Structure 1
Amino acid sequence: MSTARGGPAEGGDVTDRPAVPETPPAAAEVFGDQLPVAERYVELLAGPGHDQGVIGPRELPRLWERHVLNSAAVGEVLPVGATVVDIGSGAGLPGVPLALARPDLAITLLEPMARRVAWLERVVDELGLGVTVVRGRAEERETRRRCGESDVVTARAVAPMGRLATWSLPLVRPGGTLAAMKGASAASEVERDLKEIRAAGGEDCRVVRCGVGDAATTVVLVSRSERRGTSPGSGRRARGRKDRARD
């Protein structure tokens, strides 16, 4: 693989892997002195990440804007010093860019697939990140025991809002927030799934825009109810597990 800065990257023929995309000027502002680490992350995504199937070939030219800067933009709505569980972390999105842009956050990367867990552990080790990697599904009791209740749960391209709220809100402390990265139809998705979100213990749903330009993203913020007796996910947890098993 050849990099944007020239020369072969990590043990590959320069002709057998796509080039690493150039670093956009906005990246320096977002990542500051962590920019070299963010650039190394992009190199890992474009090289071994592509080879191992954690990122598709069509995404490589737009790794910065659509994936890395896009994910880091979520940090605009997260409180200082928050504990964060990134569910279905996959390639490390949005968790890894958040860890680089917001080093004050205490982040756990939650992923059910063994090969992706191995990938995340490699990324964390090579980048020297102070984050935790956990293998598991958000809806599993053991996962909830291991992760506890966090200030924020983040999710990107995991599930429709109703199902996502059912799975993830039990990992959020009362008064905490689910921050779900969504597309242009986010508002209509919230409206469609509002009953299910509320049944899961969610309230005060808001759709906000984070970031600017090509790296902008839509985020749905759902607060977990602080009312006594609220049981997130009640009545839908078993169905959620069956749905996930079929995905």
Structure 2
Amino acid sequence: MTDSVSRETTLDRYFGARRPLIEAYAQFLGTAGVERGMIGPRETPRLWDRHLLNCVVVTPRIPDGARVADVGSGAGLPGLVWAIARPDIEMTLIEPLLRRTRFLDEAVERLGLSNVVIDRRRAEDVDVRFDVVTARAVAALGKLGRWCLPLVAPGGALLAMKGSSASDELEAARADLVRLGARTMVVETYGDDVLEVPTTVVEVTR
């Protein structure tokens, strides 16, 4: 994001009338989130570009009315951002740690989000299938595939948000992903027109 004007335009583009909700979440994340160890204090100055906008630019990839799961949701990235930007989707935040689910519970209550469910379990213990499963900064792709692909419904997709090593991770994990039922595997970028560093996503369909 190069300037405040482009940020304003981007917020309106992705959040529209729900922009006050993402601004309220940003404020909560930058205060209570730091105090409770959800994010590091050094992340506060780059909260928008590196975290919130980094997540929301992927939302056009989500089918209308999709059932979505965010595995290892932590502070709600990308799950809460997606749920705010896309009220049409049903979002399940899968997070096993109590202190994190308490934070998520409070965030959902504060924001009044009716399309979010919090599931305090490990991904391996969840027996529900979703149209889209996502994870951000959780684990290497091979391990992530073992946790997430069983949750993806046939025809659905795993959208693993990754960094610059995404292509190398995909090549290393390709054989394991095929054994887990992967059909197609590609690396895509989102937000090229609004972010200085676009969001990289490994997309695995089942």
Q: Give the alignment's TM-score, normalised by structure 2.
A: 0.92
1:126 alignment counterpart: 110
Q: 1:98 and 1:105, CA in 2 relative to 1: closer, same or farther beyond 3 A?
A: same
Task: Give the superposition deviation at 1:107.
Answer: 0.5
Q: 1:52 and 1:125, CA in 2 relative to 1: closer, same or farther beyond 3 A?
A: same
Residue 198 of structure 1 pairs with residue 178 of structure 2:
yes
2:123 is paired with a residue of what secondary structure? coil
**More relative contact order in 1 or in 2 (CA 8 Å, sep 6+)?**
2
Task: Give the superposition deviation at 1:98.
Answer: 0.5
In the aligned structure 2, how far is the partner of 1:86 from the partner of 1:76?
16
Q: After TM superposition, which residue ranges in structure 1, 4 or more long, deviate above 2 angstroms?
A: none
- Aligned residue runs from structure 1 range 18-33, under 5 A: 24-25=7-8, 26-33=10-17
- Aligned Cα root-mean-square deviation (Å): 1.3
1:135 alignment counterpart: 120
In the aligned structure 2, how far is the partner of 1:33 from the partner of 1:223?
32
Identity of aligned residues (%): 47
1:220 alignment counterpart: 202
In the aligned structure 2, how far is the partner of 1:99 from the partner of 1:201?
27
Q: Which runs of 5+ in 1 are unaligned?
A: 1-21, 225-247
1:176 alignment counterpart: 156
Residue 71 of structure 1 pairs with residue 51 of structure 2:
no
Q: Which runs of 5+ in 2 are unaligned?
A: none
1:139 is paired with a residue of what secondary structure? helix
- Aligned residue runs from structure 1 range 1-247, under 5 A: 24-25=7-8, 26-130=10-114, 131-140=116-125, 143-144=126-127, 148-211=128-191, 212-214=194-196, 216-224=198-206
Task: Give the superposition deviation at 1:214.
Answer: 3.1
Structure (1 or 2) with the larger CA radius of gyration? 1
In the aligned structure 2, how far is the partner of 1:84 from the partner of 1:186?
22
Q: How many residues align?
A: 198
Comparing 53-62 with 71-80, greater Cα deviation is found at 71-80
Task: Give the superposition deviation at 1:30.
Answer: 1.5
